[in-house]
A and B are shown apart, each in its own frame.
Chain A
Amino acid sequence: MDNIKITESIAERDLNRRDFFKWIIRASVAATVFGLLDQISCGTVPQTGVQTSPYMVPQTADEKTVYALCDTVLPGRTSDPSGAPGAVDAGTMDFAYDKFYGVVQEFPLVLPLFNAEAQKQYGKPLYELDLAQRTTVLQNSETLLGLIDQIYMFLKGPFYIGMISTLGLEYMGDPGPNLGYRNQDFSFYKPMSTEITSDGNLP
């Protein structure tokens, strides 16, 4: 049973599209107000054909919405005032459309929800909004639909795991694969710790 794919596993476990949809919009606690909205009013999705990274460039409306979603969950260089990289810079679009992970097949179910909320709030699709507006849309979508954290887990993955590029790891200061820290002195605060067992086991 080598190479068990997540998508196959989901299908095998009797999760049909409707189930997965329910998974994605599972009821969760209402989002609380995020105090930084005033600081993040910049950046919109690149226009078609504007290459900002070596990864997939959105062409269709759906792809632009996915791009906007990624760039809201972890804003990238064109959206973050500091210019720090984000999801799209780390190749999340390539990940999102990788059939192995199975996210792509659910986009037709979830993207209209974001765009409907964007239209309701601002009269535009999600991908035509700036970061502050997109953030508000996602917050409201979360409130309305209980947008669950799993989809954010997926979209944050390429950046923090480094599965497409190491850009996110470099930004975070995680060296990723390494030869170990054998010569590191790990005896940190050793004199400050008191032990109650003789060998690490309680009786």
Chain B
Amino acid sequence: MPPTYDAVIIGSGFGGSIPALRLAQAGKKVLVLEQGRVYTEQDFKQSWDLKYLSNLLSITTSDDYATFFRSGMVLGGGSVVFSGLMNRSPSETFQFVDDNGYKVWPDAVTRQVLDPYYDMVEGMMQIRQATWNEVSKTGGMFAKMLDNVGLTCDRARFPYVNCRQCGYCEAGCIYGAKQSLMHNYIPQAQAAGVEFRTGCRAMQVLPAAAGYTIEYTGPDDTLSSVQGTIVIVAAGTVYSAELLLRSKPSLPQLSDQVGQNFNNNGGVRFGIELPDGLPSIECYKGMDSAGVMTYAYWKDYGITIEAGTSPASIFTLNIHRQGDLGWGLGFKQWAHSVYPSKLIIANIMGPVTGEGSVYLNNNNLASVHFPLTQNLAQYISSKIAPIQALATANKAYLLQTMPSGYMYSIDHMLGTCRMGDDPARSVADGNGQVRNYPGLFVSDSSALPCGTGVNPSTTVAANAERIAQYIVTNW
């Protein structure tokens, strides 16, 4: 008989640590299995070297090798390695109808429903709107470009306390200024009795007499098992789907939607080369996010845009002028001419139909299929058009940033175990409970059915709070 818990949670990011705390506060005995290891401020480095980052991140490519995806693989998950921008999803997001005519969000989940949970998350993580003095020059210049054509730009919201603006948020904040889950939910959960086991990779979920058995490998690669009356899968969009797909032989009634509807939050990354004659924006200075977000295109185009600061490492990506090469002497000279004074990198976000998928490869591990479909190409083309107009109006230059002329955001992965009202088109119900398997929940980014219109972490966190409350009330 394996050790038994009231709840076993797989993953320690927003979707895992938040329910862990709430269930423990309700008196439940909780175990969290985390594949990554524990990192503290003393362990972080100001470095973009993959040799270092691969200790914090899981890096996946799409099966056509065109796109890289990254997800946090460390105690605290994505909260440790995200840029920190934490805005609420606009109300219209929850009414999104996809290209198939399906309203993807459950009716039970609206902005109004989530607002109290957003409040909880914002309180726990000390999220606040940036002051203008925290908005970097990059952000200020982006705001000015919008203002030049009569458009608005707002200061964004962040979980930062005494930020030093060093520009290494996504490598782990060495100053402890970013209030990741390591600063709030996780220590409070530990104090409430939650047991966190790191270096543990869940391999399979099996039905048990009372709940479910989780088989997992530990740091020494030995196979162990635990049992939970409740099991919450919160391993991130790729690995939650991987785990459930691998569990399908023992959970045969799982929806055939597991792994489907993969999307990247409608992310399209682009660059702007500023014209000559402006003061240098010193684009390496500031938070990883430039501190601003424009909603100017939300009403007409269904997108928001965040601007970011840029380390020189941005030039490892295929960012270059249209028609030029992304390498060679000309590229080197061009990069030197625009950096760090004239380069703005920004990211479009918006609800989009999820046409990608996660499936098991021959090694029983996740592969991501994320093709540039006709719909997606059309989405990118339609969303980049107003940005081209913005650049032109400012005598700036819109830069091509990716192979084949596009760039998918390499984070913000959503949708593979989505909630929904239609059992035929969703993995879980509106409470995050997996259909046909009472007590089995998904509470992470995989449960969100479409792009959130903004950076998704706040909505992932608020939804996890909501699901946790449902579990506490009903289990």
Contacts and interface: CB of A to CB of B under 8 A. Distances in A.
Contact of B59 (A6, A72, A157, A179): A6
A13 B65 CA distance: 12
Contacts of A74: 327-328, 331-332
Contacts of B147: 189, 192-194
Contact of A6 (B54, B129, B157, B311): B54
A172 interface: yes
Nearest to A86: B332
Contacts of A203: 90-91, 111
6 contacts: A26-B65, A26-B66, A149-B402, A177-B47, A201-B90, A203-B111
B186 interface: no
B191 interface: no
Residues of A in contact with B, size category: 35 or more
Contacts of A155: 327
A3 B405 CA distance: 33
B46 A177 contact: yes
Interface stretch (A27-35, A45-53, A108-116): A27-35
Contact of A131 (B175, B327, B329): B329
Interface in B35-68: 35-37, 45-51, 54-55, 58-61, 64-66
Interface of A: 1-6, 9, 12-14, 22-23, 26, 28-29, 31-32, 34-36, 39-40, 72-75, 79-80, 82, 84, 86, 100-101, 131, 135, 138-139, 148-150, 152-153, 155-157, 160-163, 168-169, 171-182, 184-190, 192-197, 199-203
B329 A202 contact: no
A28 B227 CA distance: 48
A15 B219 CA distance: 24
Most buried by B among A29, A74, A174, A202: A202
Contacts of B130: 200
Contact of B140 (A5, A168, A186): A186
B316 A192 contact: no
Interface of B: 35-37, 45-51, 54-55, 58-61, 64-66, 73, 87-88, 90-91, 111, 129-130, 132-137, 139-141, 143-144, 146-148, 152-157, 163-168, 175, 199, 201, 219, 281, 284-286, 291-293, 295-296, 298, 311-318, 323-333, 335-336, 339-340, 361-363, 365, 367, 402-405, 453
Contacts of A35: 330
A31 B325 contact: yes
Given A28-B404, A184-B285, A187-B140, A36 B329 contact: yes
Given A194-B152, A202-B90, A6 B50 contact: yes
Contacts of A161: 47-49, 312-313, 316
Contacts of A162: 48-49, 312-313
